[in-house]
Amino acid sequence: MNAQTLPGAAGNGASPDAEPILAVENLSASYGAVRALDNVSLAVPAQGLCAVLGANGAGKTTLLRTLTGLHRASSGRVLLEGEDITRLPTEKVITRGLAHVPEGGGVIVELTVEENLRLGGLWRSDRRSSTTFDEVMDLFPPLVERRTKTASTLSGGERQMLAIGRALMGRPRVLLLDEPSLGLAPLVTKQIFTLLRDLRDRIGLTVVLVEQNAAGALSVTEHGYVLNQGSVAAEGPSDGLLADDRTRHAYLGF
């Protein structure tokens, strides 16, 4: 796993006190009459690893979908590096440096592994996209031999890798992941969590990890938010949340 040269925020080491790279201010969203997000605010520091936890239906997925414009915000703002991206269409949001791996990965099973990866970098019209491709391939050795096979032949863990790889092809500053551990064996989940931490350390990626697997997610992240019925019920340093029995029992169920 040699990803030193993978671009992104490399060399842009912001101090922890600086303005957050991703700021969510009083974001609300609804499905018809049902309010799915209610005045949610988050602040994710550059190169931070941040977990968003909560039970089924707490609004975690809606939060990510609203951040990347897949779902319309009814009020509030999303700021990426200080720029308001709340009303941008998804395909524009992506080009601002915010990548989103949806639940299940969103791998296009009809396309080959290579086509899936290339798709992620198409919008970058620069010449270096082939170097990015090699770098991403280096990150995921299992994908190399499957390069020309359709993605439908991949296992769950490999699909998740492919999905993350495709997101990295766009050289994002911030990566949003929706339940990457869903349906994966504990060992594979652990590999993926470790990979996220690696990416942060090596290329300065900021990661927002939505998880139901709260214990796993808190053990890999630095900061955590707990959503309950669409609003932030608790937040704090991950080890603090992990140690706080009340929060754990009330919202995280372990």
Partner 1 sequence: MNYFITLTLNGLASGAAYAALALSLVIIYQATRLVNFAQPALALLSVYTAYTVTQLTGSYWLGFAAALTTGLLVGAFVERVIVRPIARTSQLNAIIVTLGLLLVVQGAVGMIWGNEQHGFRYAFSYVGRFSPADVFSLVAVGVVALLLFGLYRFTPLGLRMRAAAFHPEAARLSGVKVGLMLTAGWGIASLIGALAGMLAGPPFISPNVFDVVFVFGITAAVVGGLDNPFGAVIGGLLIGLGMSYVSGFVGPELATLTALAIVVIVLSVRPDGILSRPTARKV
- Per rule CB under 8 A, is residue 25 in the interface with partner 1? no
Containing 224, the helix (H) or strand (E) segment is: strand 223-228
The reply on whether position 123 binds partner 1 by CB under 8 A is: yes
DSSP type of residue 183: T
CA atoms of 245 and 248, how far apart (whole Å): 5
Among 25, 115, 198, 244, binds partner 1 (CB under 8 A): 115
- For residue 68, how many other CB atoms are within 10 A of its CB? 22
Longest dimension (CA), the chain: 52
| Nearest-approach distance from CB 150 to partner 1, in angstroms | 9
157 binds partner 1 (CB under 8 A): no
Please tell me whether residue 110 binds partner 1 under the rule CB under 8 A: yes
Does 165 bind partner 1 (CB under 8 A)? Our answer is: no
When the beta carbons of 55 and 70 are compared against partner 1, the nearer one is: 70
Q: Which of 60, 100, 200, 248 binds partner 1 (CB under 8 A)?
A: 100
Q: How far apart (Å, rounded) are the C-alpha atoms in residues 16 and 247? A: 26
Distance CA 66, CA 157 (A): 26
Residue that is written with structure tokens 């991403």 in the block: 136
Q: Looking only at residues 72 through 91 of this chain, which bind partner 1 when binding is defined by CB under 8 A?
A: 89-91
Which tokens belong to 218?
A: 């808190």
Structure-token pair, residue 116: 């899936």
Residue from 50, 107, 139, 164 in contact with partner 1 (CB under 8 A) = 107
Rg (CA), the chain: 17
* Least distance to partner 1, CB of residue 104, Å: 6
User: Quick one: which segment of 99-107, 209-217, 224-232, 245-253 binds partner 1 (CB under 8 A)?
Assistant: 99-107
Which residues on neighbouring strands pair with residue 242, listed in sequence order?
none
Q: What three-state secondary structure class fits 41?
A: strand
Distance of closest approach, residue 148 Cβ to partner 1, in angstroms: 12
- By CB under 8 A, name the one of 131, 152, 155, 194 that touches partner 1: 152
> What angle is formed at CA 75 by the lines to CA 70 and CA 78, rounded to 5 degrees?
60
Q: Give the residue, chosen from 14, 70, 182, 233, that forms a contact with partner 1 under the rule CB under 8 A.
A: 70
Count of chain residues binding partner 1 (CB under 8 A): 30
Q: Would you tell me which residues interact with partner 1 (CB under 8 A)?
A: 68, 70, 89-91, 94-95, 99-102, 104-111, 115, 118-120, 122-123, 152, 159, 166-167, 170
